[in-house]
Amino acid sequence: MDMSYVVDSTNMNIEMPADATETIGMVEVVEEIFIGNPEKFRGLIEDAEKSLYKGYPNFTKLSTIIKLLNLKTKSGVSDKCFIELLVLMKNMLPEGNKMYSSTYEAKKAFKAMGSGCMC
């Protein structure tokens, strides 16, 4: 397999969020989905490394939305309610946060990983 397009995050000077290693591991598992589309894969890796907001290393943009979509699915939350929750959370977090603001964006990120998400 050609690995020339894979982002090597070990050489970047980035403050890694606490759950970045776990999230990156999940993304790497589905790497083969991205053969032929390295830009999409790079974007997913970046979301896995990007803190939800500056100075808060506990969650990444990607890990947050995965956890929220899992909660949405397990709890049977409607799309309308979920959108309102995303908007509320985005507004509650500090300015410049990376929180998704629509169900469409969230599902798009989740499905990019090859999820058969029925959320």
Establish if 2 belongs to a structural domain.
no
Selection from 75, 60, 74 nearest residue 109 by Cα: 60
pLDDT, average across residues 2-26: 61
pLDDT at 39 over 50: yes
The answer, yes or no, to whether residue 101 has pLDDT greater than 60, is: yes
Q: What average pLDDT does this structure show over 13-40? A: 70
In a domain, 117, yes or no: no
The answer to whether residue 20 is domain-embedded is yes
pLDDT at 38: 79
Instruction: Please enumerate in sequence order all residues whose Cβ is within 8 A of that of 18, keeping only pairs 6 or more positions apart, or say none.
Output: 57, 58, 59
**66 domain residue, yes or no:** yes
- Provide the whole-model pTM: 0.61
Q: At 3, is the pLDDT very low, low, confident or very high (cuts 50, 70, 90)?
A: very low
Strand partners, 56: 53
- Tell me whether residue 42 is in a domain: yes
- Whether 3 is covered by a domain: the verdict is no
Q: Output the six-digit token pair for 16.
A: 């890694």
Q: Output phi, psi for 13, to 5 deg.
A: -90, 75
- For the chain, the domain total comes to 1
Which domain does 79 fall in, by range? 9-112
pLDDT at 70 over 90: no
Please report, as a single letter, which amino acid is at residue 61. K
The pLDDT assigned to 103 comes to: 73
* Other CB atoms within 10 A of residue 103 CB: 19
